[in-house]
Amino acid sequence: MAKLKRKHYEAALEPLQVELVEMARWLADTGRRLVVLFEGRDTAGKGGAIDAIAEHLNPRQCRIVALPKPADREQTQWYFQRYVPHLPAAGEIALFDRSWYNRAGVEKVMGYADAEQVRTFLRQAPVFEQLLVDDGIVLFKYWLCCDQAKQEERFAERLEDPLKRWKLSPIDAASRERYDDYTSAREAMLEATHTEHAPWTLVDFNDQRRGRLALIRDLLSRIPDKRVPEHCVEFPPLPGKPKKERYTVIEPIVPGDDAD
């Protein structure tokens, strides 16, 4: 299948983003809480998918959660504890760019968690998620899939692009040799945590644009009827002529001619 062209992607994305705005309005009106987990291999496209969802949503309502590696104190806490403060309140959305499933993926493969810690996590995760769902949280879990050849292509692109080079880390370099290990870790994770109350959805992200569209369509299809009347704000005419800015302390910077 040919890569989806940008103009076709943007034409397909716009109506979905309108629906996402409607979904956010439904959440605010009903007080429901939405949590979406984005997991997958390095370079799969988690950040781009999250950006496509959050682009036109109110950042006060929709928060992106991308936690750094745990601090020394956090490493002594109950594993799920550091994620709990980032769960949404009424009407909010939390998009997790990697989540508690780090333990079943990168921590397992790279040796940051031992076998007993991983076994404990796989036993506790379905229980933790059952508590979230029982409390009324709408929980979606997505795993973004990509072949190793596509992953290598994206690593090379990041290495060459100074605007993307920050995404690379020593862990990325080491993980290149563990593609099969990540596959095995993912399958063990799915077997233990793909539950009726919190199922996984795998999305093909070899073409990231097609993947984003498929993921957003799936998310929207699983939200209940989200049609809520929009609260219209009226703007009556100004009582006089529009006023110009006035300055008495500091003058603003004057833009130059970028064509020069």
Please tell me the predicted confidence (pLDDT) of residue 167: 86
Half-sphere exposure of 162 (CA within 13 A, CB side): 0
Q: What is the pTM of this model?
A: 0.92
Please tell me the predicted confidence (pLDDT) of residue 172: 80
pLDDT in tens, the chain (260 residues): 788 999 999 999 999 999 999 999 999 999 999 999 999 999 999 999 999 999 999 999 999 999 999 999 999 999 999 999 999 999 999 999 999 999 999 999 999 999 999 999 999 999 999 999 999 999 999 999 999 999 999 999 999 999 988 888 888 888 888 999 999 999 999 999 999 999 999 999 999 999 999 999 999 999 987 778 777 888 899 999 999 999 999 999 989 877 65
Task: Determine contact, residues 95/65, Cβ cutoff 8 Å.
Answer: yes
Distances (CA, A) of 70 to 41, 86, 103, 120: 20, 14, 12, 18
Q: Which of 186, 185, 83 is nearest to 144 (CA)?
A: 186
Please tell me the predicted confidence (pLDDT) of residue 65: 98
Distances (CA, A) of 200 to 63, 169, 241: 21, 27, 57
Identify the H or E element spanning 140.
strand 137-145
What percentage of the chain exceeds 90 in pLDDT?
A: 85
Q: How far is CA 91 from the centre of its chain?
A: 17
Handedness of CA 13, 14, 15, 21 (dihedral sign): positive
Distances (CA, A) of 160 to 27, 207, 208: 41, 20, 19
Two tokens at 133?
């769902």
